[in-house]
Amino acid sequence: MKTDGTLVLSNQFYRELLQGFTEWIKRLGYADHTIKGRHRYIKKFLLWLEMNHINKLEDIKPNDPQAYKTHLEQKALGTRTIGQYLSGIKLFDEYLQRYEYPSIIKTKITIEEPPDTIKIIVTKEEVKKIYEATDASPWGYRDRAMLAIYYGCGLRCNEGLELLIEDVDLKNNLLYVRKGKYYRKRYVPMSEGVKQDLKEYLEHGRTWFLKQNSSYVIINSKGKQREGKSLNIRLQRLADKAEVNKQITLHSLRHSIATHLLENGMELERIAQFLGHQSLETTQVYTHIHHEL
């Protein structure tokens, strides 16, 4: 069924599942662009079920997810895109099980990693150059605060955007992450340099941007919460100014600090706590990156 050229689900139960799933990943703290992507992937999967007259979760056969993977491959989608679709289905299955719906994945789905899946790592020297590319203006204070949050503390994009003034504990050198993935909250230690950058921003930079009451740490020129896209653009401009010839993002800074901590001899368990990883397996990828550098 189409409305204004857009495919819509005719199955009321599927529509309710999709809405519930989307609200769930919002509560888990996923970034806005990730939420939109997962919503789109699951909607297309549910539409595929409808087109194949599978109108109840109980009617999904063990080989149906694999059949859907074949369907995606026949559409000539790239390996990376197919992997995103299948990762979305795995997350959807986790949602279903959490809320006691029937599981839809009864056999293992293999997700091939594309050969160009490379985490962009910024070296310590390049990080230093990016810091040196900041200036003494209010924007410069904010730039250093951004680097402190995403490199110095290794926060995820959304974790940094949701950071509140009260979450910055300068007295105890801690950042409180209240909206991490999977409802997990954590405290992240701040070095003296990170603490100083945040203190200077809060005292001298943020007040310049504050045109209305706001509790968020990182705000734009209108005093409103900034978006991840605009921060990534700002970061890339700093990198270009510093003549760091890499396409980097806020998440690149997170990957970089994890790699640098490992280089400095920090134990993997402590790095996992620092990053807010639920499983050590997620953190272990940095051991491979470290050996490749």
Do 141 and 133 contact (CB within 8 A), yes or no? no
251: annotated active-site residue = yes
For 112, phi then psi, to 5°, come to -75, 130
Active-site choice (43, 142, 156, 179): 156
Rounded to an integer, what distance in angstroms lies between the CA atom of residue 228 and that of residue 146?
Answer: 11
33: annotated active-site residue = no
Active-site choice (119, 129, 181, 234): 181
Active-site choice (179, 195, 206, 277): 277
Rounded to an integer, what distance in angstroms lies between the CA atom of residue 39 and that of residue 20?
Answer: 10
Non-local (6+) Cβ contacts of 2 within 8 A are 8
Active-site choice (142, 179, 254, 255): 254
Nearest one of 105, 89, 70, 111 to 17, comparing CA atoms: 89
181: annotated active-site residue = yes
Non-local (6+) Cβ contacts of 286 within 8 A are 255, 258, 259, 262, 271
H or E element, residue 177: strand 174-177
53: annotated active-site residue = no
Active-site choice (39, 71, 241, 251): 251
The residues annotated as belonging to the active site are 156, 181, 251, 254, 277, 286
